Amino acid sequence: MTTESTLRADIVEVGRRMYARGYTASNDGNISVRLGPDRLLMTPKSVCKGFMTPDMMCITDLEGRKLQGDRDPSSEMLMHLEVYRQRPDVQAVVHAHPPTATGFAVAGIPLDRAVLAEVLTTLGSIPIAEYATPSTKELPEAVRKYIKAHDGMLLANHGALTVGGDLYSAYYKMETIEHFAKISLVARLLGRENLLSREEVTRLQDLRGAYGIKAPAPICAEPGTDPDLGSVPEESCQVVQAPHGEGSRLVPDTVRSMAKADGDEEIRLTYRELSALIEDAIRSLR
């Protein structure tokens, strides 16, 4: 059993790491852990997560009533309470605004493509919870849709949320999301993103069991239509985009291939090549 003083020190350390890595700016972000069946230890409102001390934390019950602490609990307390209510297995909740992942959340692009084995075995898919005004009760409502089946999600035009069986596990999931977002961004800038095949995703899903990874829900192709799982509602599965490989483990990006077929793909020419093409075209008009 981890003692309260250790948990206070762990929250300080995780806050420092998040701030140092640029996952939060100013007073952004919040962290909480379960202290007991009906008690939470939580970061306070309006402090920079990079400069906290163990005595700053608040203790609340699961209804959000403050039991101890000089400061008021985090302005996003309602979102934390909702997670603990929906997920009895969760021991810690981390919320931050890591810039690349938040960029995807602003662009409305979920991190749900089968690209990295490590991400699939741990988080599965990373959906986007609908936009909600921060600190209002809209945010827990938006999070509720995905929290039963996901340990990490983006929050539209806001940031990211991760949960875990202990504080470091929740924090590492935040690192994984930001790392995955950076890799996805680079691949997309390079103009190509090969996907893992559905068959490979099934193999990775089986590895979860072999490695004892506790995922809150299975991975499925589409809600309600997964051939292996039958009817699966969106709330209880991790929807991952993975095409059938027909023998190959890696499949070229189908969206881009379709764009190519439509003649929509971007091409790049040097100034000299472009001039030559234009001169050719003008010559043929004469």
Residues that bind Zn ion (CB under 5 A): 159
Q: In what helix (H) or strand (E) does residue 93 lie, and over which residues does it extend?
A: strand 92-96
Work out how close the CB of 95 gets to Zn ion at its nearest, in angstroms, rounded to a whole number. Answer: 6
Around 16, how many Cα atoms within 13 Å sit in the side-chain half-sphere?
10
Q: Which is nearer to Zn ion, 102 or 122 (CB)?
A: 102
Determine if residue 22 is left, alpha or beta; phi over 0 gives left, psi from -120 to 50 gives alpha, anything else beta.
left
- Euclidean distance between CA atoms 54 and 111, whole angstroms: 34
Work out how close the CB of 59 gets to Zn ion at its nearest, in angstroms, rounded to a whole number. Answer: 22
Inter-axis angle of helices 167-190 and 4-20, nearest 10: 20
- Euclidean distance between CA atoms 113 and 285, whole angstroms: 46
Work out how close the CB of 178 gets to Zn ion at its nearest, in angstroms, rounded to a whole number. Answer: 14
Q: Which is nearer to Zn ion, 44 or 159 (CB)?
A: 159
Q: Which is nearer to Zn ion, 152 or 159 (CB)?
A: 159
Work out how close the CB of 161 gets to Zn ion at its nearest, in angstroms, rounded to a whole number. Answer: 9
- Euclidean distance between CA atoms 17 and 65, whole angstroms: 28
**Position with the least CB separation from Zn ion:** 159
Q: Which is nearer to Zn ion, 15 or 159 (CB)?
A: 159
Q: Which is nearer to Zn ion, 127 or 159 (CB)?
A: 159
- Euclidean distance between CA atoms 286 and 283, whole angstroms: 5
Work out how close the CB of 76 gets to Zn ion at its nearest, in angstroms, rounded to a whole number. Answer: 6
